[in-house]
Amino acid sequence: MDNMIVVILAFIFTIALLVAIHEYGHFWVARKLNVKVLRFSIGFGTPLFRFRGVKDNTEFVLASIPLGGYVKMLDEREGDVAEEESHRAFNRQSVYKRFAIVFAGPFVNFVFAVFAFWLMFVIGIQGIKPVMGHLDTNSIAWQSGLRSGDQIVSVDGDETPTLNAVYEQLLEAFIERKNVILTLSDQRNITFRFDGLKQNIEPSELQDIIGLSLQLPVEKVIISEVTADSPAATAGMLSGDQIVSINGLPIDHWRDLVRSVIDKPGKKIVIELLRNGQHIQLPVTIGTVKKGSKTIGQIGVRPKSVTPLPESMYAMHQYDVITAITKGIEKTWDLSVLTLKMLGRIVVGEASIKNISGPITIAEVAGHSVQMGFENFLRFLAIVSLSLGVINLLPIPMLDGGHLLFYLVEMVKGSPVSDAVQEIGLKIGITLLVMLMSIALYNDFTRLLN
């Protein structure tokens, strides 16, 4: 129950904040260009709170449905306008001013993303050093020349002090199907080849395909408890058994066991046990458990003890105040381009529409990131903000990008796009948005039900 409250509050805060930032972009530029703003609303539906500003008697509203917002400006197309104020109507402005007002919303989302990444890098994100442990010989990591004990220090020249930083760099290369060079601590360079991978492989499969594995301190994995009627109990595992290997790969730490099971729900594995000095091999079918929007694998055993990882295994991904600005801009640009490329792959059928997420998934991730710490929540805010900026710039009528497209056409032809064309575009835009939202909600509910 407490976790659900955190999820709901984190979601409301995230959406309200990012919508407010987006709409403030429109509002601020409109004010600077002397366009009268009638209402600034965060959310839709019944107003929960409202007040009037001093300038222009603008109404500021906080509404009951926090899934969007709007800035209502004086406009002769939407009602009568007094002659003495007609020069402040939005529709009376030059196409360049209208373009600036509309563009300001998405632009401010990108600016906020840069700020959030900057603050995140200044604070620093702690993670585990990317020092390799046992590697699957069928993985890209092994076939590329990575071996146990190797530490990855950079990917294509970008520093990777933590394993998470490595995955962030590899994800972009994976989506683009381009090869990358990993530099190791001993100055060796190895190449990860993604150009030969099939296009229908999803980003969610990246971790298994690459096969990176952390080097963990050796610790006997001894079972203290076997859950009744679990896959482990069905297979004949007992309290006191030591897990030696899974499918031939050594299990030297409890995290090795978790990693070998969690991403393989429903799959069959062979577990080697040490029981009373005798080695036993048991076939086990991994069980499936729903955790949030994901289905994970479990076999139903608890460890006798788990020793915390030593401090020497952790590193801080952090930059000074000035360098963090550059890194924030680079991060925002790279992820924005990556978002567009991923959308492009979905449109042409090279990626599944299952990658599209809706408000339920966003809520879960928001709650999870809050619980992981302020710096991780900053990362989440930055990613959602730049995603909001990218999506709003798509040339779809109803979105800011659709209006900007009409304004660009107006700049070229010297006159506004006809009302008939705009009406057709509006219908197309509404249809596309309804389809997109339907897919996102369907994916959300499918994840929940599975």
Mean pLDDT by 10 residues, the chain (450 residues): 72 87 95 94 87 89 85 89 89 94 96 96 92 84 90 92 89 83 93 78 71 82 90 91 89 83 87 91 88 76 79 90 94 89 74 65 71 85 91 87 91 86 81 75 61
* CA atoms of 186 and 87, how far apart (whole Å): 68
Per-residue pLDDT, 130: 93
* Tokens standing for residue 354: 């299952």
**Is 350 labeled as catalytic in the residue annotation?**
no
* Tokens standing for residue 392: 């709003």
Superfamily of domain 221-306: PDZ domain (2.30.42.10)
Contact 188, 160 (CB under 8 A): no
For residue 240, is it left (φ>0), alpha (ψ between -120 and 50) or beta?
Answer: left
Predicted TM-score (pTM) of this structure: 0.81
Hey, do 125-213+309-317 and 221-306 end up sharing a CATH topology, with the first three levels equal?
Answer: yes
Per-residue pLDDT, 3: 67
* Tokens standing for residue 190: 């190895």
Nearest to 43 by CA among 7, 82, 6, 17: 17
Of these residues, 23, 172, 272, 375, which one is catalytic? 23
Nearest to 400 by CA among 121, 47, 9, 69: 69
* Tokens standing for residue 252: 């030297």
CATH class, domain 125-213+309-317, is: mainly beta
Per-residue pLDDT, 253: 82
Which residues have a Cβ under 8 Å from the Cβ of 271 and sit 6 or more positions away? Answer: 235, 237, 243, 245, 246, 281, 282, 284
Find the angle CA(401)-CA(202)-CA(361) to the nearest 5 degrees: 60
* Tokens standing for residue 92: 């009376």
CB-CB neighbours of 70 under 10 Å: 16
Per-residue pLDDT, 407: 92
Tens digit of each residue's pLDDT (9 = 90 or more) over 166-222: 988 888 888 778 899 999 999 999 998 888 777 666 666 677 778 888 887 878 889
Nearest to 384 by CA among 77, 11, 2, 5: 11
* CA atoms of 327 and 319, how far apart (whole Å): 8
Q: End-to-end alpha-carbon separation of the chain, Å?
A: 21
**Could you tell me the residue ranges of all domains in the chain?**
103-124+321-450, 125-213+309-317, 221-306
